[in-house]
């Protein structure tokens, strides 16, 4: 009997449960009509399965079978035939089997796993695959195969603070970044030059604002807050402090949760749409109201752009409690592109739009992003700031 070893593997932003299995096997028949998809087709099916799961609020599991070591000898085709036949024989007809990474990783998408706990699903699948491989392959081959399990939607542990995405579930995004490598390098160059120039040229304004904040209320000049960047990676955002230091964040947390759920009925004036920021917030200082109205409180974020946490243009980075209130499809706004100081919804809708529409504008920007689009948004931003439309 082989030894089964399960361990937690962490690498950069990737969270994955790696299950190394040493097992023994023989050929079994595959289900009629089923095929092993090539890499492009499998990645496309994984993308579609995520979208379907978002709409239907269903769960699925991605099992990756690392076969690189097992097929390294001269019997590659024969070994692969036995491995894929075994996988097809123990998976359901609705499950999807294909190459996640050609000649290295075979993927199995276990669709609609229901509400069963991940450990339960993993245990059942592992037992089936172990039995099938033990019948199909010699022991030395089985010992060279490693399995890993990745569940969608991703759920943080109870009380956990790590919201980073398991990028293994999003190979299409890494492919898109690869195809945009040159354009993204240009975008980063624009970020560095633009933020550095803003920090130098606006330094007198920064000094005046800092002095005004210090003289009108007790506390530090800068307000530091944890936000979520691309792929849910946490970073510290900087703003000029616009509130008192003895404030209860629960007020904003409750408001944001209600706004995201569409439970905020309207603004303070007749016919005014609900806004993402609390209007007439009692926690805001008099100078803070001016800073928010003119967006001067956001200017220290040029430092966040300079160090690479943010971009000049992109979706606004959410606070962790905001992210927890997101629907599944809302989470895509922190996956598909780096957050920014200004963005499409800031110039087209600013704060005056429902949250779902804000997310749609962010996703529209991510899908249609180009250097020229960034330039247009940057040119429109001063007008949006000067009019103060939707700012609070």
Look at residue 33 in the predicted model and tell me its pLDDT.
67
User: Tokens 């599944």 identify what position?
Assistant: 328
Residue 14 pLDDT class (50, 70, 90 cuts)? very low
Between 198 and 388, the more confident residue is 198
pLDDT tens profile 20-47: 333 333 333 445 567 899 999 999 999 9
The CA distance from 23 to 145, in Å, is 9
Between 345 and 310, the more confident residue is 310
Q: Which residues pair with 199 in a beta bridge?
A: none
The CA distance from 145 to 79, in Å, is 11
Residue 66 pLDDT class (50, 70, 90 cuts)? very high
* Tokens of residue 248, six digits: 């209860």
Beta-carbon contacts of 314 under 8 Å, excluding residues fewer than 6 positions away, are 337, 338, 339, 340, 343, 365
Residue 258 pLDDT class (50, 70, 90 cuts)? confident
Q: What is the mean pLDDT of residues 100-104?
A: 94
What are the contacts of 68-71 at 24+ separation with CB within 8 A?
A: 68/103, 68/104, 68/105, 69/144, 69/145, 70/137, 70/141, 70/142, 70/144, 70/145, 71/103
pLDDT tens profile 124-158: 999 999 999 999 999 999 999 999 999 999 876 66
CA torsion angle for 321, 325, 329, 332 (degrees, to 10)?
-10
| Burial grade of 340 (CB within 10 A; 0-12, 13-18, 19 or more) | buried
Residue 297 pLDDT class (50, 70, 90 cuts)? very high
The CA distance from 275 to 142, in Å, is 58
Residue 316 has pLDDT above 90, yes or no: yes
The CA distance from 232 to 171, in Å, is 16
Q: What is the mean pLDDT of residues 279-300?
A: 84
What are the angstrom distances between the C-alpha of 149 and each of 7, 64, 101, 140? 11, 6, 15, 23
SS3 312: strand
Q: 383 phi and psi, to 5 degrees? A: -65, -40
- Indicate the domain borders of the chain: 4-172, 180-387
What is the C-alpha R_g of the chain?
Answer: 25
For the ranges 214-223, 236-245, 313-322, 341-350, the lowest mean pLDDT is seen at: 341-350
What are the angstrom distances between the C-alpha of 302 and each of 143, 238, 289, 349, 379? 52, 9, 21, 22, 17
How many Cβ atoms are within 10 Å of 277's Cβ, its own excluded?
16
Look at residue 134 in the predicted model and tell me its pLDDT.
93
Of how many residues is the chain composed?
392
Which of 57, 33, 62 lies closest to 46 in space, CA to CA?
62
The CA distance from 183 to 363, in Å, is 18
Cα dihedral sign for 35, 39, 64, 83? positive
* Tokens of residue 123, six digits: 């245990």
* Tokens of residue 352, six digits: 């005056």
Q: What is the mean pLDDT of residues 315-324?
A: 92
Architecture of domain 4-172: 2-Layer Sandwich (3.30)
Beta-carbon contacts of 207 under 8 Å, excluding residues fewer than 6 positions away, are none
Look at residue 269 in the predicted model and tell me its pLDDT.
47
pLDDT tens profile 153-198: 987 666 567 788 999 999 999 999 999 999 999 999 999 999 999 9
Residue 73 has pLDDT above 90, yes or no: no
How many Cβ atoms are within 10 Å of 205's Cβ, its own excluded?
12
């Amino acid at each position: 009997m082989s030894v089964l070893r399960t361990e937690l593997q962490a690498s950069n932003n990737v969270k994955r449960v790696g299950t190394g299995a040493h097992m023994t096997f023989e050929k079994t028949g595959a289900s009629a009509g089923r095929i092993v998809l090539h890499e492009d087709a499998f990645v496309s099916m994984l993308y579609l399965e995520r979208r379907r799961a978002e709409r239907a609020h269903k769960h699925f599991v991605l099992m990756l079978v690392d076969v690189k070591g097992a097929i390294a000898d001269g019997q590659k085709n024969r070994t692969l035939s036995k491995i894929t036949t075994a996988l097809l024989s123990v998976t359901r007809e609705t499950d999807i089997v294909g190459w996640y990474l050609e000649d290295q990783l075979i993927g199995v998408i276990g669709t609609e796993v229901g509400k069963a706990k991940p450990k339960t699903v993993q245990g059942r699948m592992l037992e089936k695959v172990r039995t099938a491989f033990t019948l199909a392959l010699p022991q030395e081959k089985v010992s060279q195969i490693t399995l890993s399990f990745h569940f969608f939607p991703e759920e943080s542990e109870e009380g956990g603070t790590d919201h980073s995405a398991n990028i293994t579930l999003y190979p299409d995004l890494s492919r898109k970044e690869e195809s945009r490598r040159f354009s993204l390098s240009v975008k980063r160059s624009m970020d560095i030059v633009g933020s550095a120039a803003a920090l130098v040229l606006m330094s007198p304004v920064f000094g005046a604002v800092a002095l005004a904040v210090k003289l009108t209320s007790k506390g530090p000049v800068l307000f530091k807050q944890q936000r979520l960047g691309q792929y849910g990676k946490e970073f510290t955002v900087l703003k000029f402090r616009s509130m008192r230091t003895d404030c209860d964040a629960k007020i904003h947390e409750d408001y944001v949760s209600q706004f995201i759920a569409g439970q905020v009925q309207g603004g303070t004036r007749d016919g005014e749409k609900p806004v993402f920021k609390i209007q007439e917030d009692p926690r805001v200082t008099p100078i803070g109201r001016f800073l928010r109205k003119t967006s001067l409180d956001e200017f220290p974020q040029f430092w966040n752009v300079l160090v690479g946490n943010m971009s000049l243009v992109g979706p606004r980075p959410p606070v962790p409690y905001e992210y927890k209130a997101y629907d599944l499809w809302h989470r895509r706004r922190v996956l598909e592109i780096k957050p920014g100081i200004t963005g499409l919804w800031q110039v087209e809708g600013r704060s005056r739009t429902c949250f779902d529409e804000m997310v749609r504008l962010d996703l529209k920007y991510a899908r249609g992003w180009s250097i020229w689009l960034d330039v247009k948004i940057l040119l429109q931003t001063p007008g949006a700031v000067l009019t103060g439309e939707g700012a609070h």
